[in-house]
């Protein structure tokens, strides 16, 4: 392999350390999910509604501050925003840990959500890696999120069994402090903050992103997916404990089994979706699975084996959608608009989490566990009804190609790039001296493209 094709030691350190920062923060967020419903009931003022709000409260501030913090990092630097966000997250954990009322826990969760660092982390990855390795670095972060979710589902119940809900929240603060140490001492400092349309928000692309019907369907979908997740975690821990008779200290093995089995079950579907270009079929099938598994959980609450089987199927559907929706967004987003589309997508995700906790708590208080599962099924059906109208997406990949200043100013360049076989979209940004492309890699004439963007 040519030396230029390898990540440098600095790039490897940047990608791995930022993936760890992201993982520690998401681990702190997710650890609370499997234990808040079962351990939070002993707090003063706890009601089903307030427990649900506490589960999803972080999503409210996360949704509001995600995009502004990303833009702030363009002005004052990535590291100050990331460190500030992690400090807020640690503070929120301390507030929640010391709270004696459910209202205090909600305040702590809201503060935790205010540490919205995802956009700044993604922008820092773009600053610290070269074009040919950026996708690899982003994939490492994506994998770290998946791993952190799996670890959190096991670690939350284990820590709570030994140190209570307070110990879980103290652990989230400790993880945030570890993240800060990584940012200060391990993550490289970039020479300059780059404006990168594939990794950050661009104001001119914001309204087009909101007007794109396919992206709107996707944003609704990710909001529903995380609303279902949060509402489900109002009900699933209580169903395991109160209906199936499994002590809360033993819930960890259910989540571990479900996540491991679901991981192996979803891999063939991901491969099929990409290789056979059937991502729409796979997404709609996973949504149907989410809808069908909810009444299965409701009807099987009294049987532990039945309920565990339903939870496994739930995670198959959830993890499959969590893995395929970003790929779908990458295909749908216009050239040069992926970063903006991803910002809106992430905001929708966190807004859905906040709404899901609220809905789950309110429905549980009014209609019990069965009502929560039925509500989640209806949410999934609404998503399917919207998703079935989407077209099969173009199977294209996003490219960003650096250009010489002279070539970037050539007004005929976009037309000449579009004439290359396999190029579906092209956008030249003269001030960045870069071209943003959407290409079909199966038919792309790479030599012809290289002749256009690197003339002799």
Tell me whether residue 267 is in a domain: yes
279-299 and 338-387 helices, crossing angle to 10°: 60
- Please state, in angstroms and rounded to a whole number, the distance separating the CA atoms of residues 33 and 340: 29
Final residue belonging to a domain, choices 193, 221, 255: 193
**453 contact partners, CB below 8 Å, separation of at least 6:** 401, 403, 407, 417, 435
- The mean per-residue pLDDT over the stretch 103-110 comes to 97
113: tokens are 């959500």
Whether residue 407 is found in the same domain as residue 383: no
User: What is the model's pLDDT at position 235?
Assistant: 97
Tell me whether residue 142 is in a domain: yes
| CATH number of the CATH domain containing 404 | 3.30.70.100
User: What is the model's pLDDT at position 7?
Assistant: 85
- By CB atoms closer than 10 A (0-12, 13-18, 19+), residue 348 is buried
Q: Residue 421 above 90 pLDDT? A: yes
pLDDT band with cut points at 50, 70 and 90 for residue 104: very high
Q: Which residue has the higher pLDDT, 371 or 192?
A: 371
* Whole-number average pLDDT of the chain: 92
Whether residue 357 is found in the same domain as residue 425: no
| CATH number of the CATH domain containing 99 | 1.20.1250.20
Tell me whether residue 2 is in a domain: no
Tell me whether residue 198 is in a domain: no
- The mean per-residue pLDDT over the stretch 305-317 comes to 96
Q: Cα separations (Å) of 181 from 83, 178, 185, 286, 429?
A: 9, 5, 6, 39, 37
pLDDT in tens, 132-150: 777 788 888 888 988 999 9
Whether residue 354 is found in the same domain as residue 406: no
39: tokens are 């351990």
Q: Residue 197 above 90 pLDDT? A: no
Assess contact for 436 and 198: CB atoms under 8 A. yes
Tell me whether residue 122 is in a domain: yes
Whether residue 285 is found in the same domain as residue 162: no
Place of tokens 């259910």: 254
- Please state, in angstroms and rounded to a whole number, the distance separating the CA atoms of residues 440 and 452: 17
240: tokens are 């395991």
Whether residue 173 is found in the same domain as residue 231: no
Whether residue 22 is found in the same domain as residue 69: yes
Final residue belonging to a domain, choices 129, 159, 193: 193
Whether residue 293 is found in the same domain as residue 171: no
User: What is the model's pLDDT at position 195?
Assistant: 66
- Please state, in angstroms and rounded to a whole number, the distance separating the CA atoms of residues 274 and 323: 12
| DSSP letters for 350-366 | HHHHHHHHHHHHHHHHH
Q: Residue 382 above 90 pLDDT? A: yes
Tell me whether residue 3 is in a domain: no
Whether residue 390 is found in the same domain as residue 413: no
User: What is the model's pLDDT at position 406?
Assistant: 85
Domain count, the chain: 3
Three-state SS for 238? helix
Residue ranges making up the domain that contains 63: 8-193
pLDDT in tens, 201-249: 777 788 888 899 999 999 999 999 999 999 999 999 999 999 999 999 9
Q: Residue 355 above 90 pLDDT? A: yes
Whether residue 379 is found in the same domain as residue 438: no
User: What is the model's pLDDT at position 204?
Assistant: 77
pLDDT band with cut points at 50, 70 and 90 for residue 397: confident
Tell me whether residue 1 is in a domain: no
Q: What percent of the chain has pLDDT above 70? A: 97
Whether residue 80 is found in the same domain as residue 175: yes
pLDDT band with cut points at 50, 70 and 90 for residue 130: confident
User: What is the model's pLDDT at position 2?
Assistant: 42
Structural element, H or E, at residue 437? strand 434-439
**41 contact partners, CB below 8 Å, separation of at least 6:** 51
User: What is the model's pLDDT at position 1?
Assistant: 38
Whether residue 31 is found in the same domain as residue 146: yes
pLDDT in tens, 441-450: 889 999 999 9
- The mean per-residue pLDDT over the stretch 259-279 comes to 93
* Number of C-beta neighbours around residue 418 at 10 A: 13
Tell me whether residue 442 is in a domain: yes
Whether residue 329 is found in the same domain as residue 245: yes
Final residue belonging to a domain, choices 193, 220, 241: 193
């Amino acid at each position: 392999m040519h030396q230029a094709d390898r990540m440098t030691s600095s790039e490897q350190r940047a990608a791995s350390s930022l993936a760890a920062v992201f993982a520690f923060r998401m681990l702190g967020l997710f650890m609370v999910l499997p234990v808040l419903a079962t351990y939070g009931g002993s707090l003063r003022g706890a009601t089903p509604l307030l427990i649900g709000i506490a589960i999803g409260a972080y999503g409210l501030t996360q949704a509001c501050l995600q995009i502004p913090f990303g833009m702030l990092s363009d002005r004052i630097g990535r590291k100050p925003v990331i460190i500030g966000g992690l400090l807020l997250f640690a503070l929120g954990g301390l507030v929640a840990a010391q709270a004696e009322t459910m209202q205090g826990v909600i305040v702590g969760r809201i503060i935790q959500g205010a540490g919205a660092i995802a956009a700044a982390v993604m922008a820092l990855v773009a600053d610290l890696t070269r074009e040919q390795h950026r996708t690899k670095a982003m994939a490492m972060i994506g994998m770290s999120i998946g791993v952190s979710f799996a670890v959190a589902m096991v670690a939350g119940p284990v820590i709570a069994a030994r140190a209570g809900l307070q110990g879980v929240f103290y652990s989230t603060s400790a993880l945030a402090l570890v993240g800060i140490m990584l940012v200060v001492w391990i993550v490289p400092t970039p020479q300059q903050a780059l404006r990168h349309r594939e990794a950050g928000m661009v104001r001119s692309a914001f309204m087009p992103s909101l007007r794109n019907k396919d992206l709107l369907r996707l944003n609704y979908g990710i909001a529903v997916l995380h609303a279902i997740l949060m509402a489900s975690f109002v009900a699933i821990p209580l169903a395991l404990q109160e209906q199936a008779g499994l002590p809360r200290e033993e819930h960890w093995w259910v989540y571990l089994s479900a996540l491991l089995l679901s991981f192996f079950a979803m891999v063939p579907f991901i491969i099929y979706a990409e290789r056979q270009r059937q991502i729409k079929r796979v997404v709609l099938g996973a949504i149907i699975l989410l809808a069908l598994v909810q009444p299965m959980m409701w009807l099987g609450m009294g049987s532990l084996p039945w309920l565990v089987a339903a939870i496994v199927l739930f995670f198959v559907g959830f993890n499959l959608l969590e893995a395929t929706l970003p790929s779908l967004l990458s295909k749908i987003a216009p050239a040069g608009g992926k970063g903006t589309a991803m910002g809106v997508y992430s905001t929708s995700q966190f807004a859905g989490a906040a709404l899901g906790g609220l809905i789950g708590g309110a429905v549980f208080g009014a209609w019990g566990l069965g009502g929560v599962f039925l509500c989640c099924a209806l949410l999934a059906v609404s998503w399917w009804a919207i998703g079935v109208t989407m077209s099969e997406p173009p199977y294209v990949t996003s490219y960003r190609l650096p250009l010489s200043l002279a070539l970037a100013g050539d007004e005929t360049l976009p037309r000449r790039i579009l004439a290359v076989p396999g190029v579906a979209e092209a956008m030249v940004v003269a001030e960045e001296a870069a071209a943003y492309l959407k290409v079909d890699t199966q038919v792309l004439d790479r030599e012809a493209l290289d002749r256009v963007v690197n003339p002799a």
